[in-house]
Each structure stands twice: as C-alpha cells, then as structure tokens.
Amino acid sequence: MSHKRIPKRKAAFAAGTVVALGAAAILLPNANASQDGSSNDAAAVAPKPLKATDASDLASQLQKLLGDAFAGSYYDADSRQLVVNVTAGNTSVVVQAKQAGAKVRVVDNSLTELAAGAKTLKDRATIPGTSWAVDPRTNKILVTADSTVTGAKWNTLESTVKSLGSDMATIKKSAGTFKTFVSGGDAIFGGGARCSLGFNVTAGDGSPAFLTAGHCGVAAEQWSDSETGQPIATVDQATFPGNGDFALVKYDDPATQAPSEVNVGGGQTVAIQQAADAEVGSQVFRMGSTTGLADGQVLALDATVNYPEGTVTGLIQTNVCAEPGDSGGSLFTQDGSAIGLTSGGSGDCTVGGETFFQPVTTALQAVGATLGAGDAAGGAGGDQAGGGEAGAGAGDEAGAGQEAGAGGDASASPGDEAGAGQEVGGEQAGGDVIGGQDTGNGQDAGNGQDAGNGQDAGNGQDAGNGTGDAGQSHN
C-alpha cells in the first residue's frame, strides 16, 4: 500500500531576525587579522557570542587547528560563548583560539591522558549499570553507577576510579537503572516492542527510510505505525550493542512520502534542516512517543554505557528525561538540527535522570543515508553539517548556523539560542519553548509558524528531517 505522510503545519522554534555567521567565517577572518597585527585590538580577541550550532562547528575546526593542544570544549549557554580547553605550555595556540572567537581555558589533562583513563575503566570496570564520559567543564572523566552497582561491583568500580586520581576522574551514583527505553505499546511497533521513529532519511539506494535505535532494530525485523496494523517498514541495518545504537529501516512502499520533520504533537511539526554534532552545554530537545517533548542540556560526548545487553560506545550524555517507548526518538536543536537518537539511560520524566543518545552524524555515515534529499551523509565535524557541498543548497562547506545551513535566511531561523527564562517567540520560556509554548513532557508545541526548508539555502524539501505526521511517528 502507499503509506503517505503529508506534512502538516510546520512549527518554528522562534522568530529570530539575526542571520548567524558560519563558523568558517568566524574562524578564518579573525585568524588572518592576527597575522596582520591587529591582535592588540581587544575587540578582535574578545570571545564571540555564538549559537550552539555555530559553537559546535567552530569547536570541530579548532580541534583540527590546535592538534594535540586541544583538550575538549563546551558551550557556555549563559554567555553564549564557546569555551576551549588547551593544555598547559601552549601559548601560541591560546592566541589562535582567541583570535577564532573562543574563550580559552588552560587545563591539566590532555585528551590522550583522558582516553588512557577511559581505557583503564574499560579494562578493569566494565560492569553493567555503569557509564563514563569526559566532562570538558571539569576536564575529568565522569563515571556514573546506577542502583544495581553495589557490593563487590561498587568496590571494583570505586577502586578503579581512585587509582586514576581525583584530578582525572570522579564518580557519582544514579538513583535509577540503566536500560534501553523500548516498551510494548504505541508509536512504531515490531515484535511486541514499541519504539519511536527518529528521523526520516533517504537510503543509499534512494529509497525512503528512517533512523531509530539499534536495539529496536535487533528486537524486530518489521515495523508498523499502529499496534494492530500491517508492517510498513523493514530493518535494513542495525547496530547494538557495540559501536553505537542505531538502525536504518526502509519503508516497504517506495512511493512513501517521508517528510524531513519532527512531529511535536498537536498537529505541529518542526523542520529539520541538517545533521549536526552535539556540543557540551548546548540545549537540546527530545521527542518520544511515550513522554512527548522534553528538553535539557548535553553533558558529555563519546560516552560509554554498559547496558545489561552489552557495552555501547560513542554516545551523547544528557540530562534530558526519557521513558520506555521513547527509544529511537529524535534529539534536535532549537534551530532545527538533527543531533541524536534516544538510546537509554536511568530515571524517568518524574524524577529526572540521565539519558544517552546515538549521534545522528555517526549513524548517517555508518548506514550511508542522507537527511532529506541530499544533505551530507553524516555531516560531522562541521565540514558539511550545514548542508554544504552535498547538495543541501548553498555550496559552502559551512557548519550549522551559516546562511547555507541552519535555516537559511533570518526569517526562518530562530537566531539566538534561548536559555532558561529568555523570551522566545514573544512568550516567556519555561526552560525554553517552541513557538512560545512550554516544552514540558508530552505538551504540544509550536504555534505553526512557517519554518519550511524551501528557503534560499535549504535542500528544496518542505522541511528538514524527522518524523512524519502522528500516525507514522510520535504521538
């Protein structure tokens, strides 16, 4: 059958009027100014206010530029600045980073040293119910243990962390239990399991498909958009556990219309313009079939999580809540960038907890798919995350936020990131809002502002990527 998913009204996160500068434009002109001797001008080296997506792109470029001196970065949402860690004794790279527009912080631990610490944890303390990731804000490895890690298991973990030294690693307990968020119920169904659709994509052979969690993909081969309905899609590739938690599921009907958007409830959709890498400290939104819409912050990248089913690496750690049935759901930013797929975590949306996400850029690269009708597969590292050379429209290899990337002209982009208490779309934000409404669990979002992707810099589709309407995606 032809399972059509016709786009509904699109919800813009906010009506901003500032066109963001691309990260490449931020980096290169200021670096040249330094060579021209203008570094004495205080304004030339002052940290620049950035959107989170621009900060992520700039961080990727600075990591390449600074080499081994680069020791991580994070986004300071209050000041809207990118903070870059550099190791001691690298005066020249400090100047380079400042000239690029970043705030620079000298730290003790290099990424190589932190990676060695993570390897020690892997070798000595791979225990179900534990996770670890580098927190660039503390320049340490943050180790988390859920409520099942007790007795001898806790002693092993604690002694391993202590062996690394207090200047290298810290440990904390989580009240919940680390688990994948798959459940029997609603949204997309397969083999008695319920998951959430992440983002609609185009597979490498040109057929319509979607991304969801890998543990959903290994749980069932065929998936339906209703509990008693016929299958509409079949798993093509799935990874879990191991190097990620993602699956590519192809629609059985090649004529399926799979718009690039996320359904956020109430008949509203949000255009997804591109795939982008997460940046620690940035605000993100999650949509899932169980709990609806929720928001929070990115806490760490490249996290290792030891689920009962096995170890998964390369995840994004956040403080966004999620519950069973939310697995595979969309993680995205205010300006419409696809960031992640819900994997698992601990806690719920009543008491809170940690939730881990599979990076979309990594998943796209692994399965050879593209967002919409030609965004760069992967879009990682800021090189093509804004929909650059791969056919998204503008032709510049720009990061998120460039005119060719996150939303095109100013009328379609929210402009600035909105922190807690800021006003977005003319209404007071309760943490943050979409189209002026609170983003609390399961609440409808958006006032239907047009944020479609048929902009100057868009990829020519109605909207970015994500779920279709409610029957196909999140309810």
**Which residues are tagged catalytic?**
215, 245, 327
Cα separation, 8 vs 224, whole angstroms: 21
CB–CB of 352/383 below 8 Å?
A: no
Specify which residues 344 forms β-bridges with.
Answer: 180, 356
Tokens representing 9 are 């009204």
Residue the block writes with tokens 């243990």: 145
Specify which residues 312 forms β-bridges with.
Answer: 242, 305
Specify which residues 433 forms β-bridges with.
Answer: 438
CB–CB of 47/79 below 8 Å?
A: yes
What distances in angstroms separate CA 291 from CA 176, 321, 405, 474, one per listed residue?
Answer: 17, 9, 30, 10
Specify which residues 330 forms β-bridges with.
Answer: 287, 341
Q: Return the ∠ at Cα 334 (arms to 329 and 339), rounded to 5°.
A: 40
CB–CB of 441/430 below 8 Å?
A: no
Residue 454: which residues within 8 A CB-CB, separation 6 or more? 460, 461, 462
CB–CB of 269/8 below 8 Å?
A: yes
Cα separation, 280 vs 282, whole angstroms: 6
Residue 252: which residues within 8 A CB-CB, separation 6 or more? 231, 232, 233, 234
Cα separation, 239 vs 108, whole angstroms: 36
Cα separation, 171 vs 151, whole angstroms: 16
Maximum C-alpha span of the chain? 69
Local structure of residue 439 (DSSP, 8 states) = -
CB–CB of 462/253 below 8 Å?
A: no
Cα separation, 372 vs 374, whole angstroms: 6
